[in-house]
Amino acid sequence: MKTPLMLNKGSERSGVKVTLAATFVIVCWAYSPIGIRIGLQAYAPDHLALIRFLIASTFMAVLASVKGIGLPRLKDLPQLALLGFFAVSLHHIALNYGQRGVSAGAASVLAQSTPLFSALLAHFAFKNSVNAWQWMCVLLGLAGAAVVVMGDRGLGQINAHGLLILLAALSWSLYFALQKRHCHRYDGLTMVCYTVWSGTALLFVFAPGLLDEARQAPTSVNLAVLMLGIFPSALAYLAWAYVLARSDVSRASMALYLIPPAAMLMASMILAERPSAMVIVGAAIVLTSVLALNLDPTRLQAKLGKRNT
């Protein structure tokens, strides 16, 4: 029989593991825009997306062979391909082309605007109600994103590359919306594997010329791309699934707001990038609005009401 002391020690160890896993996720996803910036030194944006996910797909195939996953149903293949298109193909092509003209720190901020687009999709595409508080948060967040886009390369300069990062965020929102409607059919590992594999298959249209670029790329760039394929594209997803399975989703999601500051710090150390004042201001606006969106007073009141009944 387990004593209270043993149970407390077990919960403490579990809490430490969750914290370490969340920290690992933050570091991996903060590295992503930095790895992309390094990879773009030797690879075209479309080639970088393909080689990154060839590495991720290979890694996931090894993991799937060890853990074992089931075969998808034939009628689910189009849906899995659509998930791969939004989560991998469109998202990373837009992200890579966008980062040709956007700093790593600014890209990480714009990528965190995904919940804003999710709210818009909920209203316009899925006909869900969006209250006044949510509309205010969305408009404020989009204004913050505009500040980041205009201020990244100098005061008042509109950078079209920043709009591509926002397209990547929109694509990620579509992926989340679709995934929620189909995730009940497969476990987390199976969903991640088939999403990554289908998205990688769609990227094969960019295969011509990739081998030559890989041969000519410096070893340091190929090492950065290898890390990009293994850590942010594979291990981070598995670690995040571990975090979500052992903690409250809304509470765990708060940790993701640490990604932009971590990315800015890492970019200053690795790439010698310094965010402009407008990017810092825009980042504060975007992150505050997304945080406020997740702390919707009406939802909090509803939760408190349920607890009190």
Does the structure show a pLDDT above 90 at 231? yes
**Model confidence at 159, in pLDDT bands (50, 70, 90)?**
low
66-107 pLDDT, tens per residue?
988 888 888 888 988 999 999 999 999 999 999 998 989 899
Confidence of residue 3 (pLDDT cuts 50, 70, 90): low
List of residues 6+ apart from 169 with CB closer than 8 A: 110, 111, 112, 113, 114, 116, 117
Hey, what's the torsion of the CAs at 193, 262, 100, 165, to 10 degrees?
A: 60
Q: Quick one: CA dihedral 147, 153, 157, 161, positive or negative? A: negative
C-beta of residue 139 within 8 angstroms of C-beta of residue 119 = no
Segment 116-134 shows an average pLDDT of 79
Q: What would the mean pLDDT of 54-59 be, rounded to a whole number? A: 95
pLDDT at 164: 92
Q: What angle do CA 306, 307, 309 make, to 5 degrees?
A: 65
Work out the percent of the chain whose per-residue pLDDT is above 90. 39
Averaged pLDDT score across all residues of the chain: 84
pTM of this prediction? 0.84
Q: Does 7 score more than 60 pLDDT?
A: no
What digits encode the pLDDT tens for the residues 262-306? 999 999 999 998 888 888 999 999 989 888 887 766 554 554 444
